[in-house]
Amino acid sequence: MAAYSTKPPFFDLPVDSDHKATEFRPLSLAPPHMRAFHLAWLSLFSCFFSTFAIPPLISVIRDDLNLTNTDISNAGIASFVGSIFARLAMGPICDLVGPRVASATLSLITAPVVLSTSLVTSPHSFILIRFLIGFSLANFVANQFWMSSMFSGSIVGLANGVAAGWANVGAGVTQLVMPLIYTLITSFDVPSFTAWRIAFFVPAILQAVTALMVLAYGQDLPDGNYKRSNSRGNKPKENVFSVLFHGLKNYRGWILGLTYGFCFGVELTTDNIIAQYFYDRFDVNIETAGAIAASFGLANLFSRPSGGVISDEMAKRFGMRGRLWSLWVVQTVAGLLCVLLGRVNSLWGSVLVMCGFSLFVQAASGLTFGVVPFVSKRSLGVISGMTGSGGTMGAVVTQLLLFSGSKFSTQTGISLMGLMMIVCTLPVTFIYFPQWGGIFCFPSRPNEDYQLLE
């Protein structure tokens, strides 16, 4: 009977005692760390591409399906509501089966739903499809869980930031690409109301292909996949209710969920409304509105990763207090820019402020997940799920209160959304870790291994 070799595995990247990478090389495909990184962001990219493929074509879809503004707003809300429950569930699922299987399964389940967008014939079916497609955004939780499992604490903020940031670019790319695909199809004399339906074959196929790549080439942990690792004792099994309980009782997870709701949640809402906002307010054509909206999402290529970099660098200088201070400052500035965006009356002035706003609000998302991996080692998936679902809950709240049949104009709603960001960032000052301290407090038990206890 063959015994497992006691020889330590070889890794292309330097690793810590848990075999997590201590260096981040985004241009490398070295297995398992960097391969997991590329599979994670590509898979989530396809989900963002699918979820936000509808808004850039909404002016055409609106005319075909006779949608009212209320229908469009309700559909936007529905897409976020679906994501809330899926993200909450995804956290414990990742804790139990690993991010690889969880991510790929969800993508394969929702890909046919994306394809079904081409069959929509009524406002009610349109809203239902957006609700079901929204489930795919729960892949974000698997994305962040996977990075936290592969990269050491010294660079986890960077890894989380780049993986999510590059993936979030999908929301910007789809704003740019879907109108081009639609225009290309119509150039072959395909009727407008048929062309937009054919266009949705692209995001559906992309999502299915990336899911299969995750299954074929991915690995949950540096030492193997969950089932195999559990058999070796690398990751002890724990009762699902115990994992869930330890996560839900941790108040830090709730605060980070609220904070994330008003950075990433605001970003989602902006992705939903920004193309139509410029199209209606400044009377630009659909391609121009899509290009402007794309610049908001495309900023994720470097803005969210910069949040992770800031979090890690501030931690090296000031510990956890540096991570918390950076999060509070950056998100507050983002709120101020959001207020200003709704007050600017010129096209180019609005574009300029929007670009600044995108940099700060997306960096704040990266900073939030620079803190998440340190809240609970035992219930990492649950905390990630709580925070991630908080992001989509924030999108539902802002969309419902400010942009769904609201008495406020869209520009006033944008400014009010900025004020909500500023207020809802304040609870970050209450986050405290016994061994690391908080924004205003020094640690009380610096030698305690809090992560293992909680």
Residue 450's pLDDT band (cuts 50, 70, 90):
very low
Higher pLDDT, 406 or 139: 139
Give 242: exposed, middle or buried? Use CB within 10 Å, 0-12, 13-18, 19+. exposed
Q: Distance between the two ends of the chain, CA-based, in angstroms?
A: 39
Q: Is the dihedral angle over the CA atoms 333, 334, 338, 340 positive or is it negative?
A: positive
Q: Are 249 and 378 in contact (CB under 8 A)?
A: no
> 76-85 in b/e burial notation, b at 16+ Cβ within 10 A?
bbbbbbbbbe
Rounded Cα gap, residues 255 and 253, in angstroms: 6
Structure tokens at 13: 């990247």
CA distances from 448 to 29, 129, 247, 376 (A): 37, 48, 19, 14
Cis peptide before 434 (omega within 30 of 0): no
Q: Are 139 and 106 in contact (CB under 8 A)?
A: yes
Provide CB contacts within 8 A for 331, sequence distance 6+: 259, 262, 263, 360, 361, 364, 367, 421, 425, 428
Q: Is 151 helix (H, G, I), strand (E, B) or coil?
A: strand
Say how many residues make up the chain: 454
The mean pLDDT value for 178-197 works out to: 95
The mean pLDDT value for 162-173 works out to: 88
Q: How many Cα atoms sit within 13 Å of 284 on the Cβ side?
A: 21
The residue behind tokens 């006033």 is 412
Q: pLDDT per residue over 67-94, tens digit each?
A: 998 898 888 888 888 888 898 889 889 9
Task: Inform me whether the pLDDT recorded for 454 exceeds 60.
Answer: no
Structure tokens at 384: 């990630």
CA distances from 299 to 160, 212, 411 (A): 16, 28, 22
Low-confidence winner among 151-155, 174-178, 228-232, 323-327 (lowest mean pLDDT): 228-232
Q: What's the DSSP call for residue 404? A: S
Q: Is the pTM of this model over 0.85?
A: no
Return the percentage of the chain with pLDDT > 70, whole number.
Answer: 93
Domain boundaries, the chain: 33-224+237-444
Q: Are 413 and 406 in contact (CB under 8 A)?
A: yes
Q: What's the DSSP call for residue 9? A: P
**Predicted pLDDT at 407:** 83
CA angle 202, 208, 209 (to 5 degrees): 90
Residue range 33-224+237-444, CATH number: 1.20.1250.20
The residue behind tokens 């900023």 is 299
Provide CB contacts within 8 A for 3, sequence distance 6+: none
With CA atoms as reference, report the closest residue to 345 among 405, 402, 412, 406. 412
Structure tokens at 24: 């981040």
Which amino acid is residue 418, in one-letter code?
Answer: G
Q: pLDDT per residue over 32-67, tens digit each?
A: 999 999 999 999 999 999 998 998 898 899 999 999
Distance, CA of 60 to chain centre? 27
Q: How many Cα atoms sit within 13 Å of 210 on the Cβ side?
A: 30
Q: How many Cα atoms sit within 13 Å of 433 on the Cβ side?
A: 24
Task: Inform me whether the pLDDT recorded for 452 exceeds 50.
Answer: no
Task: Inform me whether the pLDDT recorded for 415 exceeds 90.
Answer: yes
Structure tokens at 450: 């809090």
